[in-house]
Amino acid sequence: MATTRRECPAEAMTGQRGVIDRIEGEQAVIVLEDGQRLLWPAGELPDGAAEGAAIVLTLALATDAETQRRRDQVAALQERLLGR
């Protein structure tokens, strides 16, 4: 699911910066400022994003309910794999 495109002035941007280097099938290759490459689902890019577009990656905390759901999933997987 693509997100809505939101533009802001460069001085207002916070987060890891990069550029969409290329899109290979369902994956976008994003090159970060420090040279690291990040594979990102192309369908999760903002609307209008294309090769050569400058981007800013930001993080947000999930809700407490989402965090607990994922902890429960991991615990169930550990129980299944390790028999605990």
Q: Token match 């607990």: residue?
A: 68
Domain that holds residue 39: 10-59
pLDDT in tens, 27-83: 999 999 999 999 999 999 999 999 999 999 988 899 999 999 999 999 999 999 998
CATH code assigned at 40 = 2.40.50
Angle at 25 between CA 2 and CA 27, to 5 degrees: 55
Q: What are phi and psi of 26, to 5 degrees?
A: -100, 5
The residue length of the chain stands at 84
In-domain check, residue 42: yes
In-domain check, residue 21: yes
Tell me the whole-structure pTM to 2 decimals.
0.66
User: What is the count of structural domains for the chain?
Assistant: 1
